[in-house]
Amino acid sequence: MTKTTKYDICIVGSGAGAGPVAYELAMAGFSVLVLEKGPRIKTKDFTKDEILTSRRSVYTPNLRDEPQVIEKRDKDGEWKARSNAETGQDFWNGNCVGGSTNFMSGYFGRLKPSDFQLLTTYGPIKGANIANWPISYLDLEPYYTQTESLIGISGKVIPHHWQEPRSTSDFPYPPLQENILAQWLDEASQQHHFGIVPLPRAILSVPVGQRKACYYSGYCGSYGCSSDAKSSSRVALLDKAMAGGNLTILPDSKVFRLEEDGGKVMAAWFYNTMNEKTRVEADVFVIAAQAIETSRLLLMSPSKNFPFGLANNSRQVGKNLIFAGGGSGSGEFYKDDMSSETWEKLNQFGLFLNRTTQKWYELKEDSFSTPVKGGSIDFIMEHPNGITRAINQKWDVEGKLEYGSSFKKKLLHHFTQVKVINFEVFVDWLPTDDCFVQLSDSVKDQWGDPVAHIRIHGHPHDVEVGKMLALKAEEILMHIGAKNVQWNISSDPPPNLVAGGCRFGHDRNTSVLNSDCRAHDVSNLYITDGSWIPTGGSIPHTWTIYANALRVVGIIKNKPVKKTL
């Protein structure tokens, strides 16, 4: 064991929930340590290598070393649990300095005031653990605004019915360059009142400081940015904070236990680069390891005061795990259906679509007796990754595998004669008793620690709402001339948008954290990744996580934390 060291603040993780805390505290003169399980990858190391990103787990752990147990219902309704070392399906995200923000698409939206009072606004739903938030939209709004300038968000505010209140009139950076499809959607919206507006992106459209503007490669989602235009925690916050001298980042440092005494965290234990058990002390501990791993860490940290895991006397740690509900779809445009000039504009490489509609953020359909929460529809260009596009073409209309000369012809046609428009539907993933994280009683990782056992269950209400929105998206695509429109809405969650497990609230019996995101029963423990979120809204969580981390770090700065000399 190496010598114990002491910091003012110790942060576990380095993504959207960690970066703002590390940046603000380091810049304020506190000594800050960030422990990151993954490696430090620099901008120059990111590549557009499709095999590396599509077919290799280079940014997530090898499942032979760090498996998870995934539990789902089979076709007979029975719960079946299997290690993903066997199945290959995992819920790991970006494990490196900056976390998953390195690989996000950067689709950023704010929650609405009603999202903070979902239970009050729409009432209970049988089988769902819906809870109002202990804070309001107005409590978070200043930090949404601060995030826009601090990390860099590009866009254009167009007032619409579901436009949330803003303290500024527009985004700090202008919109990114757009494909002609954006114009087609705007025209259809004006004619048919679809409520389509620009979609903000956490990508710089102009150079800012040492960061370059986007150069329109099209390789955003799942890829690291080689121009630093993408507003990752690493580029926008951690790199700048490092220059001040008060921030230490230790990559390849896997935290496995938090040591508690007298209702305070005294130290974090981690495996260093030599796989040695290492202990570090701090006055304040902030956990932001992403929702699944944060719950797992607390559960792996029992003590005399917390026999069921740190901060878990309520037995709520790991409960009410949520993802992003909804699904995706697509439509096609064909070269033969348009002029060569129009086809050339449509086929311009790398330009963004960046359109969304929240017209149906509330649904008043005949199938519901009262209005229900709806969601968002984001319209995006097909990712240029050739491997993924080819894999999507490998089945014929009867579901049989294509191969040989017929498959080659199909690929040639798709890559030269077809342009695809995609859409993503976002609805609330309602929290339930059957979606949670616990420790596996049999499977361990390479260090001998119990892995996360994740039970996955989506409420059928999510699918019902998602399908209604998909039909709206299909209607929109048909109006702009898209053909072969198809979509899939299911309760299979995307692994990159996960939250819950340590929800915040006023009642310590039904929540893990108070409204400050501090553990009810642990005076110096804060959680700032998505774990605190009780209901996720109908947008990606990332902007909300950034904003809340800025809110919480303001609270921490005002606490009597002694600065280490």
State the pLDDT at residue 1: 39
State the pLDDT at residue 89: 87
Helix (H) or strand (E) holding 33: strand 32-35
Whether 61 maps to a domain, the answer reads yes
Whether 20 maps to a domain, the answer reads yes
Instruction: Give Cβ neighbours of residue 177 (< 8 Å, ≥ 6 apart).
Output: 205, 216, 351, 352
Whether 143 maps to a domain, the answer reads yes
Cβ contact 25:556 at 8 Å: yes
Range of the domain at 193: 5-557
- Tell me the per-residue pLDDT of 111-158, one tens digit each, with 9 for 90 and over: 999 999 999 999 999 999 999 999 999 999 999 999 999 999 999 999
Pairing of strands 277-287, 5-12: parallel
State the pLDDT at residue 560: 59
Average pLDDT by consecutive 10-residue portion of the chain (565 residues)? 75 98 97 97 90 82 95 93 92 94 96 97 97 98 98 96 95 97 98 97 97 94 94 97 95 98 98 94 98 98 98 98 97 97 95 97 88 96 91 88 93 96 97 98 97 97 97 98 96 92 97 98 98 96 98 90 45
Cβ contact 453:436 at 8 Å: no
Measured CA to CA, the distance from residue 109 to residue 245 in angstroms comes to 33
Q: How many domains does the chain have?
A: 1
State the pLDDT at residue 4: 57
Whether 469 maps to a domain, the answer reads yes
CATH classification of the domain holding 545: 3.50.50.60
Residue type, 278: T
Whether 564 maps to a domain, the answer reads no
Question: Token match 């910091």: residue?
Answer: 7
State the pLDDT at residue 563: 46
Whether 562 maps to a domain, the answer reads no
Question: In 3D, which of 3, 233, 255 has the Cα closest to residue 106?
Answer: 233
State the pLDDT at residue 163: 93
**pTM score of the predicted model:** 0.96
Residue 564 tokens read as 């280490």
Measured CA to CA, the distance from residue 163 to residue 169 in angstroms comes to 12
Instruction: Give Cβ neighbours of residue 306 (< 8 Å, ≥ 6 apart).
Output: 260, 312, 313, 521
Question: CA-based angle 128:489:190, to the nearest 5?
Answer: 105
Whether 565 maps to a domain, the answer reads no
Residue 496 tokens read as 């990159």
State the pLDDT at residue 565: 32
Question: Token match 């919480």: residue?
Answer: 552
Whether 536 maps to a domain, the answer reads yes
Cβ contact 432:457 at 8 Å: yes
